[in-house]
Structure 1
Amino acid sequence: MPLALLALAVGAFGIGTTEFVMMGLLPDVAGDLHLSIPTAGHLVSAYALGVVIGAPLLAALTARMPRRRVLIGLMVLFVVGNAVSAAAPDYHWLMAARFVSGLPHGAFFGVGAVVATSLVAPERKARSVSLMFLGLTVANVIGVPVATAMGQQLGWRATFLAVSAIGLAAIAALAGLVPADHGHGAAVGVRGELRALKSLPVWLALGTTVAGFGALFAAYSYITPMLTDAAGFAESSVTLLLALFGVGATIGNLLGGRLADHSLRATLFGGLTSLGVVLAFFPLLMRTEWSAPLGVLLLGLTAFVTGSPLQLMVMEKAASAPSLASSANQGAFNLANAGGAWIGGLALAAGLGTTSPALAGAALAVLGLAVAGIAFAVDRRREPVRAGRLVAGSAAPAAEAESVRG
């Protein structure tokens, strides 16, 4: 695999670390800035809002620029956001800095996925995307726990300085490893990128992402009370158990990339089905201390098997202008995060039990399967139309040539 994929993975590692580390640092930030925990929690929302707004906006605005330059510029914005977070004098500055930190997130993964797939042979596209996403999953295993511990020992500002340093390393790697002449956005421009979002298959692919990863976050958002109240673990054990989720996600991500290169459709349907089954049995798995860790591992594995296939599916549906659609898919992941957590919370609020969010997630996985099925059915119905246009397009020049010869 090209070394340029390593540069993308380093950037993904930094982004994954800064995205999730705030959740572990909330008590420290709240205490230092004299905030309540719920108020400090808005800093997580500010980052997510930056992702949703920045993904399509920055991808569209940079559509004509060389992609290496775009990736470096996005990481510069990432470094600035995290450096300002470290120096923020009050809550309002920190809120603005977290929003800025989130802006490049979606566009980096979106443009990065386009770069990754263009660096390899067609039969290795999904694997290349999974290697970029490897930085994100490893961040959950190593980056977030280490950064959280650093923040608790040295202060939360030190964490954001460290993340800024990771961003600088990513800039150096991108400048040194991604080919300089790679990927001029050239002809399509902003209008061409926006036209890609008018396609029904693109929206169905994005809908599959929202439902599929909404299934994950419906359960994962409430994994701590499941582990403590249902499985009986002490709160001190939760961090180690969540590292198991990261291990499962890393394995699932690599496995999904490899399988999707053989069959995108089978991997996507198999992953969503497996995720639905794991979530359906999650209440049983959470009953004992020996089965709960297995459930956490399987949750990460089955969810992230679908990560690369979903990204590649969106890119294929918008093949003429993939950068915006690919970046929009990152916004869909964040919408899944918020929407899944909300739906899981409804199950809890209805008094259905501590593990009920997992069953809500299973229902979302079934919905994801249904949307994916519709997407592939639409594709099958459009294939004869596309084939007819190709035949007609090739027949016309042939007829003209025949008339000239006659």
Structure 2
Amino acid sequence: MVKSNHVLMYILIIGVFGILTTEMGIIGILPQIADYFHVSVSKAGLLVSLFALAVAIAGPTMPLLFSGINRKTVMLLVLGIFVTCNIISILAPTFTVALVARIIPGFFHPIYCSLALTVASTSVSSEEAPKAVSKVMLGVTAGMVLGVPITNYIANGSSVEMAMLFFAFVNAVAFFGTWIFIPSMPVQEKLAYGTQLSILKRGMTWLAIAAVILMASATASVNSYIAEYLGSITHISGKTLSIALFIYGLASLVGNVVGGRLLSKNTRKTVIAFPVVLGIVYLLSFWTGASTGPMILTVILWGVCYAISNLIGQYWITSAAPEAPDFSNGLFLSCGNLGITLGTAVGGLFISGIGTQYIVLGGVLFMVLSLLSILLRIRLYDTVKKQHLV
């Protein structure tokens, strides 16, 4: 049983890594894609923005629609769609065909990711669930932070087609791994759609949603402009900048492990302390930003905190609605994407309004608001629990 769980985890990690690399890796080759299809870089950017829009739209709906189907069947379906659409992208005669081949997988992205998180958490005891989820999130983080440099390296070393073939290859590995090694996973108790949607009637759910959107906004408002910050404020560029971004990626992977252990040990203290710690880390950059060495240390803390925020966000929503895991994980994915959109926009306003150095103030503001949402949800939970005991 333990061995089969390990195999399951490895396959889920490969699966989410392939899907997130498909989503984010394209960022690293947008100029080459623009040249390949003879379009502008801004138009090529639609491959990123429309994919993300599809994920945000499908997040609350698609996992819900597929929640009653055998989980192995659903995973094979999604991975098969990703492999097929990746191959179509490679062979696409026009940019429009390539764009359609990108948008279609975007709608299926939340199904696999929410399902992977659900399967990971339900395959172990409730006490070990945060650690299991952190392992899957390791694949998510690796796809997000390492997918871009890996894809860029392949494209520069060979061709755009080979870079996109890498997407197809990783998804194909996950497909065949799922097909061969993962047993059938029928849904034991199918929840009615109305029952799952009813979690939206709870104030606790909406407070969790607010906290996750605000936490995602806090990290995105700063991390989206990390290259700009290091270039303008710390004055590092070229290979040094690439090394700094790679260190940030590695720190994020470490953050997944640390976050999983902290949540397993004491969830409430971890969730409450996190906004305070991240706010301090952001303010620390005011003192370290101008010096390369100290700022690299701050970048490491940024990376660790980024990964922990994702784990806390996933836990905070799913723990508010444990009876509807697929739907709540879909909500988590949508909230994360909404937070990225909001945070990136606010970070851009800070840069254009008062300067790059002050983007951390936007992050701190979002963290204060998220802490307020967290404390309100905890108070509501304690009140409801007390009423049930009386």
Structure 2 length-normalised TM: 0.94
Counterpart residue identity of residue 6, structure 1? Y
Cα separation, 1, equivalents of 2:181 and 2:196: 27
> Deviation of residue 26 (structure 1)?
1.1
Aligned-partner residue type, residue 366 of structure 1: V
Larger-Rg structure: 1
- Cα drift, residue 89 of structure 1: 2.2
Contact between 1:108 and 1:327, CA under 8 Å: does it hold in 2? Answer: no
1:374 aligns with 2:373: no
2:362 pairs, out of 347, 360, 367, with 360
Residue type at the aligned position of 1:78:
F
Distance of aligned partners of 1:58 and 1:280 in 2 relative to their CA distance in 1, 3 Å threshold:
same
SS in 2 for 1:122: coil
Q: Does 1:86 align with 2:90?
A: yes
Partner in structure 1 of residue 207 of structure 2: 204
Residue type of the alignment partner of 1:231: T
- Deviations 1:372-403 (CA, angstroms, capped at 9, x unpaired): 11111111111123345xxxxxxxxxxxxxxx
SS in 2 for 1:24: helix
Q: How does 1:150-299 map to 2 (within 5 A)?
A: 150-180=154-184, 182=185, 184=187, 186-299=189-302
Tell me what 2:34 maps to. Answer: 30
- Aligned pairs for 1:4-153 (under 5 A) are 4-140=8-144, 142-153=146-157
**1:166 CA drift (Å):** 0.7
Name structure 1 gaps, 5 residues minimum.
389-406
Quote the residue 1:326 is aligned against: 329
**Cα deviation 1:160-211 (Å, max 9, x = unaligned):** 211111111111222334332x350633132222222332222221221111
Q: In the TM superposition, what whole-angstrom CA distance separates every residue of 1:66-116 from its partner, at most 9, and x where no partner exists?
A: 222222222122222322222222222222222123222222221111111
Gaps of 5+ in 2: none
**Distance of 1:94 and 1:23 partners within structure 2:** 15
Specify the SS of the correspondent of 1:11.
Answer: helix
Match of 1:396 in 2: none
Code of the residue aligned with 1:212 in structure 2: it is M
Report how many residues are paired: 386
1:39 maps to a residue whose letter is K
Q: Which amino acid aligns with 1:300?
A: G
Counterpart pick for 2:318 among 315, 320, 335? 315
- Does the 8 A contact of 2:26 with 2:148 survive in 1? no
Distance in 2 separating the partners of 1:149 and 1:204: 42
Measured in 1, the distance between the counterparts of 2:306 and 2:371 equals 13
Deviation track 1:207-233 (CA, whole Å, cap 9, x = no partner) reads 211111211110111111211121111
Aligned-partner Cα distance in 2 for 1:268–1:283? 25
Q: What's the offset of the Cα at 1:342?
A: 0.2
Query: Residues 329-340 of structure 1 correspond to what in structure 2 (within 5 A)?
Result: 329-340=332-343
1:337 Cα deviation (Å)? 1.1
| Matched residue SS, 1:107 | helix
With over 3 angstroms needed to count, the CA separation of the structure-2 counterparts of 1:142 and 1:339, relative to structure 1, is closer
- Distance, in Å, in 1 between the alignment partners of 2:193 and 2:102 is 27
SS in 2 for 1:355: helix
Contact map agreement 1:22 1:44 (CA 8 A) in 2: yes
Residue equivalent to 1:398? none
Q: Secondary structure at the match of 2:59?
A: helix
- Structure 1 window deviating more from structure 2 (188-197 vs 330-339): it is 188-197
User: How many Å separate the matches in 2 of 1:195 and 1:229?
Assistant: 48
Residue 205 of structure 1 contacts residue 372 of structure 1 at CA under 8 Å; is this kept in 2? Answer: yes
> C-alpha distance in 2, partners of 1:217/1:200?
26
Contact 1:218 1:342 (C-alpha < 8 Å) held by counterparts: yes
